[in-house]
Structure 1
Amino acid sequence: MLSDILVPLGADGDGAPVYCVHSASGSCHTYLPLATMLDHRPLIGIEAPGYDDGEVLSGGLAALADAYARVVDVHRKDRPVHLLGWSMGGVLALEMAARLRSTGCPVPLVVLIDAWVPTGEPTPPDPALRARFVAGFAADTLGGVADRTAEILRVCAEEGTGEEAWDRLRAHGWLPDELDSETLDQRFAVFRNNVRALNEHRVQPGHPGPAMVIRGQHSPPETLPWADLIDDVREVTLPGDHYSLWHDAGPTRLATVIGDALRQTSTAALRGPW
């Protein structure tokens, strides 16, 4: 059932729930560090269909946003909702907000964490996608993810990518031992589908906001500013890069700025502009 995509992350309370949308990996567990830091606000993850079992949801990013918005609209029980997403999840959160608002659901705030406006980048071939997928498993300890992706590509080119591909990559210490090849095949299919959906998507201008865009100080520069597409947007830059935002002091910094923004939007109307 599609409702199984909702994953309670913690922090029971009476505040408007925060739905945290998966990145290209399909996992919502990235957001677990925030669960104890946003007081009185239920935190609910949205996991990609097929990440743990079941079928990968076919279609583009708009189809994913449609399906997720329907699930949230039923689950929210007439409460306002906040939406939050890292990387691809930020784009999904913004598109979900448009769909929820069209049905009358109040969305006081959308938070986009180090999310880029998709600009038609071609989807890489499977070997490059596989390397990116593997590099993401230990991004907090690998240092430069781009360098490690190139190293994984080199190893794959030298050793091949047959049925034992995952075992060879695991032997290099790049994959968790607890994930068997069948699980990795399934999760790679989700990742590939999500990357393709993101790359093919076009965000239309005119999103009303309010939204907050959080950037990593050392993340690649954006190709198109979100301010060109969202009418009411605040931008914040925090130390770190795309991955390190979620490690060490990163989650505390994120929780501080997100918590402040949520408190600002806790009433029916904002007190003036950001």
Structure 2
Amino acid sequence: MSQRPEAVRRQRGPEQSLLTSLGPARGDARKTVVAVHPGALPATVWRTALARLPEDGAPHLLDLGSVPEYFAAALVPTLSVIGVRELAERCLTELTDAGLTERPFTLVGWSFGGVVAYELAARLGDQGLGDRVEEFVVLDSIAPVAAFQRPEEELRPAMLLGWFAMYLGAKRRHRLEVEPGALEGLGEEDGLGVLLAEAVAQGVLPDGTEHAGLRKLYTAFHTGLVRNNRCTVGYLPAPLDRTITVVKPAGSLLPDSPDLGWAELSGRPLRRIAVPGDHYTMLQEPETADALAALLTTGSATR
């Protein structure tokens, strides 16, 4: 049963800041990094990569899960959603209030966070501050282009269940392997049955895990995905005249799309980086963390 809106508000509490500094305040920081986090997993997943920044780096996190309307819409699917533009405006307000738009920084967004980060970069450009974003990096983020916008009823169960398998593995810190094609043609219930059997067999879930328990977790996961899909309805931004770095893991959300649609939104050639892991584990893979830290520390793409 969906939670009542007032129960969601009590659970989340009063509105809190989106912006968190992940290190000591440094006015003399050589490299400032601002990461936009979508909230699907705890923000602590960034620690592995950001811990590899040099000591004079200044990492900051914008956690979209701190926006009450965004958080609540993942729990109560009947609630209205907050759009990409408003989310980006709130992010920009907090960055400005913190003084972070007064100097250059690297902007990176993971998953849906990459879409919000794109709008944030666009708004800075509209204010004549486009050069503040030294590097713009998206981590397995699906571009907000027409080719990838689908109504909820057209989201295939096999695709969503495949994404859920990656999510479940990340939550349990044990990769869940699913044979290619094993979920094709199955509905949600049959597909969840396949995932449950595999998860128990592979030690991802304990023996005796009930189908109803997995269904509950999947429902929460699915509601969050639909929430993000609803947030982007009608959001088809214009391209930016800047380089976009696309970091794509081996287990991408869209493995058959080389650039995840970002070529349509960049006026310059993309920079592409392939890394290990999947969509939900990429930030915790040591090799990925090293590659990302090197990129965020030095960078070679130019605006």
TM value normalised by structure 1 = 0.69
- Offset at residue 80 of structure 1 (A): 2.6
Percent identity of equivalent pairs: 19
User: Which residue in the other structure is 2:256 paired with?
Assistant: 221
Find the counterpart in structure 2 of residue 110 from structure 1: 136
Corresponding residue for residue 255 of structure 1:
293
Distance 1:52 1:117, change over 3 A: closer
CA displacement, residues 102-149 of structure 1 (integer Å, 9 cap, x when unaligned): 2243222211112222421233699x67995685143352334798x9
The residue type paired with residue 149 of structure 2 is G
Answer yes or no: is the 8 Å Cα contact 1:11–1:35 preserved in 2.
no
1:122 equivalent in alignment to 2:158: no
Assess if the C-alpha contact under 8 Å between 2:250 and 2:277 holds in 1. Answer: yes
Gaps of 5+ in 2: 1-13, 74-80, 195-204
190 and 76 in structure 1: CA distance in 2 versus 1, 3 angstrom threshold: farther
Contact 1:50–1:56 (CA under 8 A) maintained in structure 2: no
Displacement of 1:36 in angstroms is 1.8
On the 8 A contact 1:26/1:51 being kept in 2, the answer is no
Assess if the C-alpha contact under 8 Å between 1:117 and 1:203 holds in 2. no
CA distance in 1: counterparts of 2:133 and 2:30, whole angstroms: 13
Q: Residues 231 and 173 from structure 1, CA distance in 2 versus in 1: closer, same or farther, beyond 3 angstroms?
A: farther
Output the amino acid matched with 2:247: I
How far off is 1:20 after superposition?
A: 0.7
2:223 corresponds to 1:207: no
Instruction: Report if the CA contact (8 A) 1:24-1:191 is conserved.
Output: no
Distance in 1, Cα, partners of 2:68 & 2:222: 11
Distance 1:173 1:236, change over 3 A: farther
2:64 is paired with a residue of what secondary structure? coil
8 Å contact from structure 1 (residues 113, 215) kept in 2: yes
Count of paired positions: 248
Quote the residue 1:136 is aligned against. 167
CA distance in 2, matches of 1:65, 1:122: 22
Quote how far apart the aligned CAs of 1:260 are: 2.5
| 2-structure distance, mates of 1:254, 1:55 | 27
Aligned to 1:196: 230
SS at match of 2:247: strand
Structure 1 residues 146 and 84: alpha-carbon distance in aligned structure 2, compared to 1, 3 A threshold: farther
Q: Distance in 2 between matches of 1:215 and 1:28?
A: 19
The answer to which of 75-84 and 94-103 deviates more is 75-84
Aligned residue for 1:209, secondary structure, equals coil
* CA RMSD, 1 decimal: 4.2
**Shift in alpha-carbon separation, 1:233–1:101, aligned structure 2, 3 A:** same
